[in-house]
Amino acid sequence: MKNFTKNIDTPAVLWLTGLSGAGKSTIAIGVQEQLLAAGNKVCILDGDELRRGLCSDLGFTDADRVENIRRAAEVARMMVNSGTLVIVALISPFRTDRLLAAKRIGESRFLEIHISTPLEVAEKRDVKGLYQKARAGQLKNFTGIDSPYEIPESPALTITTTDESAEQSVERVLSLLKNTSLFL
């Protein structure tokens, strides 16, 4: 992987959205490593981590998902305002919620990145057994099984993880950043 050498001039939010098991966290970590190595302030807000802490009181109903995204967007907005590039890695299944997050953060500082993976591939990658539990009726409102995922209509970037390696995906995100006005 090439080293990323640019410094962030205008902090922003990279909002990675996709099914559970799509590769959001893997890509987020790879991007973070490259940006940190170049001396940038960067933080990941990962859906699993948020659910264990800030959003531990929320379930997976539509209303709880809306609140989960609202909280993540609010934290991301505060971090961006403090000069940090934020990588949000959340399923965030509903377009409306992602649009509201972009408005809360500031649309010029929000880059939506769709991590596209077919459901059958995401299920095969599922080390936690969540899809199996959802199919067995043990998990309700699970995205892709009994709750919909709304594909972004015009993301800044779409990454199909079945077509490239994690390293290639990270490079594509870094290329997107290099081609925006966020850098010196």
Closest CA to 177 of 59, 46, 40: 40
Residues taking part in catalysis: 92
Residue 133 and residue 127: Cα distance in Å, rounded?
12
* Four-point Cα dihedral 150, 33, 161, 107, nearest 10: 30
Residue bearing tokens 């067995």: 136
> Residue 11: left (phi > 0), alpha (psi -120 to 50), or beta?
beta
Residue 33 and residue 127: Cα distance in Å, rounded?
23
Instruction: Enumerate the β-bridge partners of residue 111.
Output: 14
Closest CA to 68 of 54, 81, 79: 54
Three-state DSSP class for 64?
helix
